[in-house]
Amino acid sequence: MKLLHTPNSPYARKVRIVALEKHIDLELQEVVLADPACIVSNHNPLGKVPVLILDDGDNLYDSRVIVEYLDNRAPGKHLIPQDNTSKIATRRWEALSDGIADAAIAAMLEGRRPSEQQSQAIIDRQLQKVMRGLEVLNLDITKKKWCVNETFSLADIALGCMLGYVDLRFKHLPSNPESWQDKYPNLAKHYGILVKRPSFKMTMPIP
């Protein structure tokens, strides 16, 4: 199986960490999305990474579909709990973490446009989503060892990948003198535990 990815995509990182935690070998193919010859849209009409190309040539996307496929493909402890209540809780952590990453990426891309074409209103709206989301997750993780059921799961992986991305792009949240770690200390503590895992160390984003 081959994974089309970019090194700093939080969604591709989520897939890579699930594969590492489940001891599944993935061939990694790095792509450059801005390259007109990029092959991703041949495999995903949306032109987004990650895409998992299966051995029979079928393509899986997006990251939520791929992680479920991988979690069920290998034996061993499930990263997505099997009982419905815990599964839904896990997927909600993932949905909010991925949504914060979506907003952080949108803000970052808007900020990279030539200054005369940038919209500060768009940047502010996206950053408010980031900050509202982090606020909720910071409260939700209070006094918990892991996000769901006191056991490591996809919820922790999705949260850690999003925080890794926020850390990469916004050490200091704009118009805010504090670092995200100071503003959201419960998340910072959880992130500190997650980044000690080999699967997180092996997939760190590249500044």
Ligand X SMILES: N[C@@H](CCC(=O)N[C@@H](CS)C(=O)NCC(=O)O)C(=O)O
Binding residues vs ligand X (CB under 6 A): 6, 9, 11, 33, 47-50, 62-64, 98, 105
3-state secondary structure of 30: strand
Tokens (6 digits) for 196: 């000690």
Closer residue to ligand X (CB): 32 or 136:
32
- Residue 39 CB, nearest approach to ligand X (Å): 13
- Residue 20 CB, nearest approach to ligand X (Å): 18
Closer residue to ligand X (CB): 5 or 22:
5
- Residue 24 CB, nearest approach to ligand X (Å): 18
Tokens (6 digits) for 107: 């803000």
Q: Which amino acid is located at 45 in the chain?
A: P
With contact defined as beta carbons under 8 Å apart, do 187 and 136 qualify? Answer: no
d(CA 19, CA 75): 12
d(CA 65, CA 52): 10
Closer residue to ligand X (CB): 106 or 193:
106
- Residue 99 CB, nearest approach to ligand X (Å): 9
Q: Which amino acid is located at 106 in the chain?
A: A
Closer residue to ligand X (CB): 42 or 176:
42
With contact defined as beta carbons under 8 Å apart, do 198 and 51 qualify? Answer: no
H/E element, 98: helix 84-112
Give the closest residue to 200 by CA, choosing from 138, 170, 142, 156: 156
- Residue 122 CB, nearest approach to ligand X (Å): 15
- Residue 32 CB, nearest approach to ligand X (Å): 11
H/E element, 59: strand 59-60
Closer residue to ligand X (CB): 24 or 193:
24
Closer residue to ligand X (CB): 22 or 48:
48
